[in-house]
Amino acid sequence: MPVFKQRTVMFGQMGTSPEATVNQIYQVITGSEAKTLFGQDSMLAGMVAAFRKINPYQELLVIPLAENAGGVAATSTVTISGAATRSYTQVFYVGDVRYTLGVSSAEDATSIAGRLVTVINNNPTSYVTASNVGAVLTLTCKWKGETGNDINIFTRYNRDDYDSPGVSFAIVQNSNGSGNPDLQDGIDALDSLTQYQGFVCPYTDTTNMDLLRSELDTRWGPLSQRDGRVFCAKKAGVASLNSFALARNSQHFAIMDITENSASPSWEWAASLAADVMYYGTTDPARPFQTLELKDIKGAPEGQRRLPEDNETLLRNGICSHTIGTDNKVRIEHAVTTYNLNQVGAEDYAYKELNTVLQMSYYRRSVINHFQVKYPRHKLSSGLDEGVASQASNIIDPKTGISEFMAHYFKMVYTAGLFEDFQGYKRDIISNKNSQKRGRLDVFDQPRPIDQFRQLAVRSAFRLL
């Protein structure tokens, strides 16, 4: 079976001293290249690094976006109180970045706040700038928009993290970031004739989601046939995520739940999810993504993670779920799309599974590729004259078309293991020469995507002898 080149498009914002120009496409190979192009403290540098940890070879096209002039940068505050009763090493987390500060005995809150400012600002890759007024520490995201709200602050993330004796920290998490960039200029930079299989989007506001849906609806359709899918991640509670997914209702979106308390920010989750699906989905689009690791992604602390019933609710409504093991590694539990209802509002499972979307995408592309390679300049017969159609005569007819489809599907079933029920497929396929468009061969077929093994149900009734 053919292996097709995969392209992933990544949208995001730049940081300090970038070399790149907004709304231009950059092919990025390494994380260090991303730091030079977009700024080492940029959202995009973090996204590229997360993607390349899992998917080092596939083509990655990055489009930096202009900031919203009316946007607001997210801020959080940490009010420190008390004085240290003994010397201690204080840990402080800005997202998944861990800082340590040696606190001296009797050191007061104002001194600790001031020295934390220095430590954070001395990190050139930090997503935030720090300042303090007395014992109140303020952290401000380096770019504007809602994404800054996803940077969580901790002093105790791991079970062995403790605050300095005598010192307390009152944290008000980011919540006031607003005004995301407009994706339209970035979308306009894309080539309408090029296939982009993946899109990584850090923004989940309605306007930008609708722009992407409109673009992908066009690409999915019969006149383009260059479909792709969007990978996002969202920080919210279960009820909010359920409402969000139901409002999306599209086979184009795979959105990962990151809970309200994740250490790693949403844009790194989105890039990591995309990297896994794009890499392993190319190898075998029918094989489930469960247990695949989101490398170096840090989820919520112990005691603040999703319960199994939470994940079940999210999955039913179209949000991807994850698990966190005893080793604190984050792994995909189940990858789904937000598709729930068909055009008339009836519940429909057809495109719920991300694997099904990938399988049908591969099927369509492989069929097109097969006929473009084997029948590039052939004549079309109605099939009335037995034995006329052949490769030697450069003629194809409906009967030949059916034979080609069945041979192709046979490989899909017995070689690739992507589909099943060859006999049923053979029974249902129909082919005719179109009576209105005389150069068109019409084929109706019903491929059967193979399912994914997700659950084992056993009822054991023991018997005592």
pTM, two decimals, is: 0.96
Closest listed residue to residue 167, CA positions, set 92, 97, 94: 92
Q: Which residue matches tokens 């496409």?
A: 25
Q: Is 444 helix (H, G, I), strand (E, B) or coil?
A: strand
Residue type (1 letter), 195? Q
Per the structure block, which two tokens stand in for 382? 């109605």
Indicate left, alpha or beta for 288 from its phi (over 0: left) and psi (-120 to 50: alpha): beta
Which of 257, 331, 322 has its CA nearest to residue 294? Answer: 331
CA distances from 293 to 255, 272, 325 (A): 16, 9, 10
* CATH number assigned to the domain with residue range 7-66+181-334, chosen from the 4 options 1.10.3470, 3.90.1690, 3.40.50, 1.10.20: 3.40.50
CA-closest candidate to residue 10, choices 278, 193, 298: 278
Q: Which of 185, 182, 181, 157 is closest to 171 using CA atoms?
A: 157
What pLDDT is stored for residue 41 in this prediction? 98
Question: In this predicted structure, what is the pLDDT of residue 384?
Answer: 81
Residue 155 near residue 116, CB atoms below 8 Å = no
Per-residue pLDDT of the chain (465 residues; tens, 9 = 90+): 888 999 999 999 999 999 999 999 999 999 999 999 999 999 999 999 999 999 999 999 999 999 999 999 999 999 999 999 999 999 999 999 999 999 999 999 999 999 999 999 999 999 999 999 999 999 999 999 999 999 999 999 999 999 999 999 999 998 899 999 999 999 999 999 999 999 999 999 999 999 999 999 999 999 899 999 999 999 999 999 999 999 999 999 999 999 999 999 999 999 999 999 999 999 999 999 999 999 999 999 999 999 999 999 999 999 999 999 999 999 999 999 999 999 999 999 999 999 999 999 999 999 999 999 999 999 999 988 877 776 668 999 999 999 999 999 999 999 999 999 999 999 999 999 999 999 999 999 999 999 999 999 999 999 998
Do the strands 330-334 and 379-380 form a parallel or antiparallel pair, or are they unpaired?
Answer: unpaired
User: If 0-12 CB within 10 Å is exposed, 13-18 middle and 19+ buried, where does residue 392 land?
Assistant: exposed
pLDDT score recorded for residue 230: 98
Q: Which runs of E-coded beta strand occur in 267-361?
A: 321-324, 330-334
Calculate the dihedral angle through the C-alpha atoms of 277, 280, 281, 285, rounding to the nearest 10 degrees. Answer: -140
Hey, where are the domains in the chain?
Answer: 7-66+181-334, 73-172, 377-465
Non-local (6+) Cβ contacts of 192 within 8 A are 224
The residues, ordered by sequence, that sit 6+ positions from 373 with a Cβ below 8 Å of its Cβ are none
The three-class DSSP label of residue 298 is coil
Backbone angles phi, psi at 218, to 5 degrees: -65, -45
The pLDDT of residue 393: 83
Judge whether 202 and 144 are in contact, CB under 8 Å.
no
Order of strands, edge to edge, in the sheet holding 7-13? 26-27, 59-65, 7-13, 198-200, 229-234, 253-257
Cα angle for residues 182, 150, 338 (degrees, 5° grid): 65
What's the number of CA atoms in the CB half-sphere (13 Å) around residue 208?
A: 23
Nearest-angstrom CA–CA distance, 296 and 457:
33
412 close to 418: Cβ distance less than 8 angstroms: yes
Paired tokens of 394: 């450069």
For residue 383, what are the CA distances in angstroms to 1, 367, 401, 426?
29, 21, 10, 19
3 state DSSP class of 172: strand
CATH dotted code for 73-172: 2.60.40.4390
Please tell me the distance from the alpha carbon of residue 206 to that of residue 328, in angstroms, as a whole number.
32
Q: Is the dihedral of CA 345, 348, 350, 355 positive or negative?
A: positive
Residues in the chain: 465
Q: What is the pLDDT of residue 392?
A: 66
Contacts of 458 (CB under 8 A, 6+ apart): none
CA angle 17, 47, 354 (to 5 degrees): 155
Residue with tokens 């980011």: 174
Strands across the sheet with 88-94, in order?
A: 97-103, 88-94, 153-154
| DSSP assigned state of 462 | -
What's residue 383's pLDDT? Answer: 82
In Å, what is the CA distance from 59 to each residue of 6, 126, 128, 162? 6, 27, 30, 43
Kindly report the backbone phi and psi dihedral angles of residue 112, in degrees, each rounded to the nearest multiple of 5, phi listed first: -60, -45
**Structure confidence at residue 398 (pLDDT):** 95
Instruction: Give the number of C-alpha atoms closer than 13 A to the C-alpha of residue 70, restricted to the C-beta side.
Output: 2
CA distance 82 to 389: 89
Give the side-chain half-sphere CA count within 13 A for 393: 11
